[in-house]
Amino acid sequence: MNLASVNYLAILVAAIAAFVFGAVYYGTLGKPWMKAARIDPATAKMSPVLFITSFICELIMAWVLAGILWHVGAGVFTLGNGLVSGFLLWLGFIATTVAVNQSYQGFGWDLTIIDSLHWLGVTLIMGAILGWWGV
- Where do the domains of the chain lie? 3-133
Q: What is the pTM of this model?
A: 0.91
- Residue 49: its pLDDT value, please? 96
Q: b/e map of 16-48 (b: 16 or more CB within 10 Å)? A: bbbbebbeebeeeeeeebeebeeeeeeeeeeee
- Residue 75: its pLDDT value, please? 67
Tell me the per-residue pLDDT of 6-56, one tens digit each, with 9 for 90 and over: 889 999 999 999 999 999 999 999 999 999 999 999 888 889 999 999 999
Q: CA 67, 20, 83 angle in degrees (round to 5)?
A: 40
Q: Does residue 3 have a pLDDT over 70?
A: no
Contact between residue 131 and residue 80 where contact means Cβ atoms under 8 Å apart: yes
Q: Does residue 94 have a pLDDT over 90?
A: yes
Query: By percentage, how much of the chain surpasses pLDDT 70?
Result: 95
Q: Does residue 108 have a pLDDT over 70?
A: yes
